[in-house]
Amino acid sequence: MISLTDSQKIGMGLTGFGVFFLFFGMILFFDKALLAIGNILFVAGLSFVIGLERTFRFFFQKHKMKATSFFLGGVLIVLIGWPIVGVVLEIYGFFLLFRGFFPAAVGFIRRIPFLGSLLNLPFISGWCSGSVWEQELQCSWCWLG
């Protein structure tokens, strides 16, 4: 069992509420207020979970500046009042920022009984295999890079 500090527990709660508000804001036709609250809670929760210094180091690495600018620019655009454009930019930035974690997440999901069998279906297994992720991460022409 992983022991969490009190600030990490608070961060998990903030991140969870942030994801909930983001999802609920999209369900309610891109409600500006809910999306703005969700963005603020998500970023604050992430800072509580991994710490401020590690958060800044993660977001402001030289090779992640494009991803960070898309993600934080999307947050800013949502706060200004253009929710659809902001969410599209955030999603693109999110995939750029966290694409290194997707193979580990797929490997974890493969161990869950029902979801693992879904990921082993012919079409999905080809898309989720590690070689596809490695090729996508290494290609220089890829639209994610």
Q: Degrees (nearest 5) of the Cα angle 104, 60, 48?
A: 70
Residues 11, 17, 20, CA angle at the centre, nearest 5°? 140
pTM score, whole prediction: 0.76
Q: pLDDT for 50-78, tens place per residue? A: 999 999 999 999 999 999 999 999 999 99
Distance between CA atoms of residues 37 and 78, nearest Å: 10
Which pLDDT score is estimated for 116? 84
Report the percent of the chain where pLDDT is more than 70: 87
pLDDT of residue 113: 87
Query: What single letter denotes the amino acid at residue 118?
Result: L
Position 130 scores a pLDDT of: 56
Torsion angle of the four alpha carbons 84, 87, 89, 93, in this order, in degrees rounded to the nearest 10? -170
Backbone angles phi, psi at 113, to 5 degrees: -50, -60
Instruction: Kindly give the parts of the chain with pLDDT less than 50.
Output: 134, 137-145
Q: In Å, how far are 48, 64, 83, 106, 129 from 102, measured between CA atoms?
A: 22, 16, 26, 6, 11
